Structures are given as C-alpha cells and as structure tokens.
Structure 1
Amino acid sequence: MSPVRGGRSVPPRAGGVGPSVVALGGGHGLAASLAALRLVTENLTAVVTVADNGGSSGRLRDELGVLPPGDLRMALAALCDDTEWGHTWRDVLQHRFDSAGPLAGHALGNLLIVALWELYDDPVAGLELVGRLLNARGRVLPMASVPLQISAEVRGLDPADPRAVSTVVGQAQVATTRGEVLSVRLDPSDPPDCPPAVAAVEDADWVVLGPGSWFTSIMPHLLVPGLREALRSTEARRILTLNVELDTDETAGFSAVRHLETLAIHAPDVAYDIVLADPSIVEDESGLRAAAEGVGARLVVSPVASQGRPGTHDFLRLAAAYRDLIGPALA
C-alpha cells in the first residue's frame, strides 16, 4: 500500500449505548446478524473474514495486494444509519457498475475502501472513515492484517475414485465445491491478527459467531491464532448462531449436529455458551442438545428464519432472539 500521506490518522469511533457485542463472520450471514444486533445494542463491532478471492474483491486483491474489501463493505452497509443520508450512502456503497469495460462488476464501495487504504496505509483507518460517511451504528474490522487463502481437503471430486481426497484452493472454489469438505486451513497458517479485532473480542460482553458459510465465513475466525486465543480466553459469553439452510454446496448433507462437530474438530479449545437454532433445522432435539453441550453450550431453539425468503434469517426475529439472550432492546 502507499505510505501514509501527511501523517493522517483516524481515531476510533466511541462506543454507543448497550452491552459490548462483537459479531464474527462474513457475507450475507454476517450482514443479517448485524442488522439484528444493531436493534439490541449500539456498542457493536463486526470482525470480518478476509479470504474472499472471487468477483470484484478478488480482482482488487490480485491487482493491488490488498485485503478483499467485499465482505467488509457489506458489513458497513448493514450498519448504516437508518436515515435518508445513511440509506443513500449505503446504496452508493453497494452500487455495481454494469458495463463491458474494466469496471464491470466492481462495487463502488470496494473501490472507495481500497482508495482510502492507499491514502492512509491503514485498513482500520480506511474502514473507520467509510463508517463515518454512513454514520454507521458500530465498527467494522478485518479478522487478520493480511489477505488469506482458504484451502480445503475435499472428498468425492474424482469420478474414478469417489473416496479419494483432493485439495481445493480458494474461498470461491471451496464455497462451490461439488465434493464433501472434510477440513479447511489458512495460508498463511499463522497470519498476523488485527489487534483492534482481538482487543474487541477480549473486552466484549458478548461474542456472536454465525450465521454464514460454515467453512469459508465462520471457520476461518477459529484458524487465526491470535483471534482464536481471544475467543478462547475472553470473559464474554459466546453465542453460536446456526444457519437456517444446512444443505449448501460446502456443507452438502450436513446436519445441525455435524455443523457443531466440525467446529469442535477445528478448534476443540474454544467453547460456547449458547447455540441458537431455528426449529426447522432441528431434526433430533436431544441429539442437537447433546452436541451443543459437547461444545460447552446450552441449546436455544427459537424461530428466526424468514417466512418469505427460504434459507435466510429474518432480522427482526433474530433481533428478538438476541434481545432475549443478551438483554432488553434499546429504548
């Protein structure tokens, strides 16, 4: 990135009213969680995965060597001020160019974020400035200080040998694999964390992990050593929010129980306090309760799925569930 110009720096925004909550994830799952949590507290921090290698984010990452900005942009948009000003700048941030030229497919917000990173040579400062433009109801931070690559061990990609295990490289490739994902890892395997993100988890009252793509948005947070240690040692209570669509490309055939088992395999030292699940995914409540207890949590079953958009969370229902768990809604 470019050197800092004129010694510019951006102080962090002050926390708002309510308990300190940190939400971890990426993409549409994190956006849904943030839309719900902002109705419960103003003291909200999003910690976002930085392994995307597809689309506009992947192109900017490859060309400029920056963190992929797309999931960070979506989190900022989810936290925009609920006013005409906030909604206008949210729409500007989310706008994608439709042309036959080199701008085709780029989100304007991605370009804005990367421009600020080049001006300030500091990802956190650039994100703070975009947050101020949106008058965002919280902070957005990357989970690591460098762009990451996700690799997965996948079974079933070779028609001649269905039991053979192959390595699939790249977030976009893992998310759409036709095989059975057995495990994931990061490259670099010991990436530098983002110190403000670690500090936020350490100082939080509550940490919310999920919903989101299990292997490519949720699991990576457990594989950054500094962030994983903060999740392990924090005095915050930890909520694990399960997806309302379990059978996706990267988790084809997975039950809710298996989702919990994969987390335990990848990070056996990280415990949770609450597992939140929609009734639609609970096939065997006693089995899911036992699996939740296996990661240190109690199971809470609450209707949080959208009635009109299958496979997605209803942010108002999710907010009600979080409010019941975390505390009363803001006045």
Structure 2
Amino acid sequence: MPASAKQLRVVAIGGGTGLSTLLRGLKRYVDTADAGEHDNNACLNVPCRIRKLSALVTVTDDGGSSGRLREDLQILPPGDVRNCVAALSEDEQLLTKLFQYRFPSDGTMHALSGHSFGNLFLAALTAIHGGDFAKAVQASSHILAARGNIYPATNSPVTLSAIMEDGSVVHGETNITASRHRIAELRMHPSDAPPMQEALEAIQEADLITVGPGSLFTSLVTNLLVKGIPEAIAASKAKRVFIGNLMTQANESIGLTASEHMERIRSHTNGLQLFDFALLNTASISPALLQHYASGGQQPIENDLDRIRAMGVTPVTGSFAYEGVVLRHDYDRVADALMDLCEREPSQ
C-alpha cells in the first residue's frame, strides 16, 4: 500500500446477487487487526486498504422462503441479508453452502419445506432479539466473524408498488418482477419508512460509496426510496461510484443504456447528484453467453460514455465480467479497480 494511501471507510449499497458478489471482492481488503496492531494475515493477499466495510441491503422481497417468513413471523425478509452475511464470513465456502441449503419439498418436512437454513437462522436470531431484525443481523455478523457490517436499508416493514409504462399498477416485488410490462416508477409503502441511524452514519463518514451492481429497481432504487439515504449520499464527500450491470434485465432495464440506468435512479431521488464515477464493463462477452441471454431478450448494456460525462459522471471502463454458467462481475477486478480509484487525485 502506498505510504500516502489511507485506510478507507466503504459503504456498498444494493441487494440480490450483485451486492454479495461485490462484497466478496471488497472483503479481501478489510483490515481485521486490532487498532494499531497490524497482522500480516489480516487481509487476504492484498494490502489492508479498508478500515471499515458496511453493506446497506434492500429488504423488500416478498417471495419464496423470505416471503413466507415475512408473512408467518412478521419479520423483515432475510434473503438478501443472508447472502451478504455468507459473502462476508471468514469461512465463506462452508457458510455459503450452509446458508443456501434448502430443506426438501418432498413432504418429509412440511413445515421447513423450501426454506433456506440461512433464512431460518436469521429468523431465530430475530426472535431472540425481541423481533429486532437489525440487531439479529448484527449478531449473525458477530457469530460468523463477518469482515464488515450489514444494515437493512430500513428496520421497518415496507412493500413496493410499481406504475408500469402502460399505466397499470402492480403491487409487491414478486409480482413486479414477474410482470411483462416495463417499470416506469417504483414506490415504497410507507413512503416515510425511516433509515437506520447506523447506516446514515456509515454513509456520512465514508470515503467510498458504491451503488450496484444489481436489479435497477428492485435492488438499487429500493434502497434509495428510504428517505434520508439519497440525501446522505448526495451530501457525502466520498467518492461515489455507480457500478453498472453487465446485461439488461427483463422489465427492469430492457433497452436502457448505462446513462439511462443512472437517470432512472436520479428521477427516483428528486434529481439528486449521487455519482462521481461509473464503473462499466467494456470487455466483449462470448457468443455462447450472448446467445443464451438473447433468448430472454437480454443484451449487453450500451455504455454511452459521452452522455455519462454530460451528466457530470466520469466513466471508469475495463474488463469486469466473469463468464461461468451465467455472467457475473469479476469481484476481484471490480474491487481492485475501486481501490485504484480511491488513490486518484481529484483532477484525474
């Protein structure tokens, strides 16, 4: 680490697989040594660049195991949080397998059928902490030695509705994502759900704030509909980075360019300027994967760099895609690029 480089406070905002993927890369840089005592093994084969890592996670899921627990136990949906806890844990490989394990739906365990172990773990901790989901999340992070703090965007129960481009209104995240129509506007109910104070403090003290990758509306905009969060980001002196998705997504972003993703976010946050940089993949994607995604109407997002610059946002381009069975961000390359970005002088 350069002598001039300071340790950073980082806040990553999102949900779904996008946020947990990013956290896997960032956690390598987290210094877990006690203050003033630097253990050579504190970071995972890289300099200890991050002093504090915080994840701000959406809590609007109402489907699957999360939705059932939300309805039956009156708790916040644990699914996205579960993925982040596993991603930040010391023994991630084992914890991911354990937390993602789903009890069989063959009738042998009817009450547990389809539930993931991680969701039940968080539900049990919530009950132990008197129904306080946020305290349960912090307890789980402590128990599993997570290399960061995880905060739900709000600790209050919220639901979504969407006005679609045809004027119809769809209620509930599951119904919204299943709709064949494109989302024009997303709304949260109640609209005045309060943010967690700890999350606001993390944003206020941050040196780096990221939004994305993730589903434009149901993973990113959902966090920014919580009053106080976009205002805190806009007021922050941190380097604020939008991490663009690799492909468009049915009904959330089909046909949208990279700049239009950010414009949709801006329109949902009263025109606030939330980003200084946009980290975008410009590497080519294999024909086989392109064909696979094209069958669902998806295609690589167009990086309209001039339009992005006209928005006052500086593009940061590179090879950030990892090709497996599906396309994901290469979390090590993304994290490395973010650390490099933090070393830039303001004029660079």
Residues 278 and 304 in structure 1, CA contact (< 8 A), matched pair in contact too: yes
Equivalences for residues 85-100 of structure 1 within 5 A = 86-99=92-105, 100=107
Equivalences for residues 58-73 of structure 1 within 5 A = 58-73=67-82
Counterpart Cα distance in 2 of 1:134 and 1:266: 36
- Shift of the alpha carbon at 1:248? 2.9
The percent of aligned pairs where both chains have the same amino acid is 36
Equivalences for residues 183-262 of structure 1 within 5 A = 183-262=185-264
Deviations 1:46-95 (A, max 9, x none): 110010000011001111211111101101011010x4xx5433432221
Counterpart Cα distance in 1 of 2:53 and 2:207: 10
- Residue 296 of structure 2: aligned partner: none
Closer/same/farther in 2, CA of residues 35 and 120 from structure 1, 3 Å limit? same
The secondary structure found in structure 2 opposite 1:323 is: helix
Aligned-residue Cα RMSD (Å) equals: 1.9
- Shift of the alpha carbon at 1:327? 4.6
Residues 164 and 183 in structure 2, CA contact (< 8 A), matched pair in contact too: yes
1:308 lines up with 2:308 in the alignment: no
Counterpart Cα distance in 2 of 1:273 and 1:232: 10
- Residue 129 of structure 1: aligned partner: 139
Equivalences for residues 12-161 of structure 1 within 5 A = 18-42=7-31, 43-81=52-90, 83=91, 86-99=92-105, 100=107, 101-121=110-130, 122-155=132-165
Counterpart Cα distance in 2 of 1:132 and 1:212: 26
Counterpart Cα distance in 1 of 2:101 and 2:175: 25
Q: Which amino acid aligns with 2:74?
A: G
Q: Which amino acid aligns with 2:316?
A: V
Closer/same/farther in 2, CA of residues 240 and 292 from structure 1, 3 Å limit? farther
Counterpart Cα distance in 1 of 2:325 and 2:211: 22
- Residue 7 of structure 1: aligned partner: none
- Shift of the alpha carbon at 1:236? 1.5
The secondary structure found in structure 1 opposite 2:112 is: coil
- Shift of the alpha carbon at 1:195? 1.1
Counterpart Cα distance in 2 of 1:166 and 1:59: 26
Closer/same/farther in 2, CA of residues 327 and 310 from structure 1, 3 Å limit? farther
The secondary structure found in structure 1 opposite 2:168 is: strand
- Shift of the alpha carbon at 1:136? 0.8
Q: Which amino acid aligns with 2:28?
A: L
Closer/same/farther in 2, CA of residues 247 and 67 from structure 1, 3 Å limit? closer
Q: Which amino acid aligns with 2:82?
A: R
Residues 175 and 213 in structure 1, CA contact (< 8 A), matched pair in contact too: no
Farther-moved stretch of structure 1 (203-212 vs 166-175): 166-175
Farther-moved stretch of structure 1 (274-283 vs 42-51): 274-283
Q: Which amino acid aligns with 1:130?
A: S
- Shift of the alpha carbon at 1:189? 0.8
The secondary structure found in structure 1 opposite 2:321 is: coil
The secondary structure found in structure 1 opposite 2:76 is: coil
Counterpart Cα distance in 2 of 1:309 and 1:230: 38
Alignment: residue pair count: 298
- Shift of the alpha carbon at 1:177? 1.9
Residues 247 and 301 in structure 2, CA contact (< 8 A), matched pair in contact too: no
Q: Structure 1 stretches of 5 or more lacking a match?
A: 1-16, 156-163
The secondary structure found in structure 1 opposite 2:188 is: strand
Deviations 1:4-51 (A, max 9, x none): xxxxxxxxxxxxx93110100011010111111112334211110010
The secondary structure found in structure 1 opposite 2:232 is: helix
Closer/same/farther in 2, CA of residues 146 and 282 from structure 1, 3 Å limit? closer
Counterpart Cα distance in 1 of 2:310 and 2:29: 26
Residues 207 and 237 in structure 1, CA contact (< 8 A), matched pair in contact too: yes
Closer/same/farther in 2, CA of residues 92 and 282 from structure 1, 3 Å limit? closer
**Residue number among 283, 290, 314 corresponding to 2:307 in the alignment:** 290
The secondary structure found in structure 1 opposite 2:194 is: coil
Q: Structure 2 stretches of 5 or more lacking a match?
A: 1-5, 32-51, 285-299
Residues 154 and 168 in structure 1, CA contact (< 8 A), matched pair in contact too: yes
- Shift of the alpha carbon at 1:103? 1.0
Residues 62 and 174 in structure 2, CA contact (< 8 A), matched pair in contact too: yes
Counterpart Cα distance in 1 of 2:327 and 2:250: 10
Counterpart Cα distance in 2 of 1:311 and 1:166: 32
- Shift of the alpha carbon at 1:111? 1.1
Counterpart Cα distance in 2 of 1:210 and 1:179: 23
